[in-house]
């Protein structure tokens, strides 16, 4: 069943790139005791994700944090090396934490997968945003296929 508002996030493991290399972090640990704006993209370096989605959250990071958000994070079904390179290329490092969901365990556990096999990308995560407080979903915005509207930084900022 797809995750919804009021549901707790399941325990899975993300990997983030650090100066020392890839570092695993459990989802419960990452979201515990704070408010996090999380958004998912189908893939790092893909057109809409690189031109609009990640840049929007970088640009609006200060405004989002000013509304009581402790951290902004982006996840994708990519490995930590790709996510780290994308973060550097986009200038996201001080604004948005990129979390690799390399095997898609997180998006499978919340039932928000996207089958992009027709495009040679395999199973990925749907484009969405959510506001999470202490591991519980406060807001959830899932895009219709091919759209980019309700998962944007502007839309989430409006919900705050």
User: Which residues, 6 or more positions from 97, have their beta carbon under 8 angstroms from its beta carbon?
Assistant: 16, 71, 72, 73, 74
**CA dist list (Å): 72 to 22, 35, 62, 103, 130:** 19, 9, 10, 22, 10
- Residue carrying the six token digits 């550097």: 88
The total number of residues shown for the chain amounts to: 160
Residue 49 designated active-site? yes
Active-site position among 9, 17, 38, 49: 49
Closest C-alpha to 4, from 101, 138, 129: 138
Quickly list H helices, 32-118.
47-48, 54-66, 80-90, 105-109
Residue 40 backbone dihedrals phi, psi, to 5 degrees: -120, 140
Catalytic residue numbers, as ranges: 49
């Amino acid at each position: 069943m797809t995750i919804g508002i009021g549901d707790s996030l399941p325990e899975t493991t993300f990997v983030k790139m650090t100066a020392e290399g890839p570092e695993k972090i459990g989802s419960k640990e990452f979201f515990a005791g704070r408010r996090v704006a999380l958004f998912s993209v189908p893939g790092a370096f893909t057109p809409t994700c690189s031109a609009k989605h990640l840049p929007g959250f970088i640009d609006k990071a200060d405004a989002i944090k000013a509304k009581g958000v402790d951290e902004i994070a982006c996840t994708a079904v990519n490995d930590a090396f790709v996510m780290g390179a994308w973060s550097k290329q986009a200038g996201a490092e001080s604004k948005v934490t990129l979390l690799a969901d390399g095997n898609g365990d997180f998006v499978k556990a919340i039932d928000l997968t996207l089958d992009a096999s027709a495009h040679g990308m395999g199973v990925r995560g749907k484009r969405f945003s959510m506001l999470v407080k202490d591991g519980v979903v406060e807001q959830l915005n899932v895009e219709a296929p091919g759209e980019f509207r309700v998962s944007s930084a502007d839309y989430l900022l409006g919900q705050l």
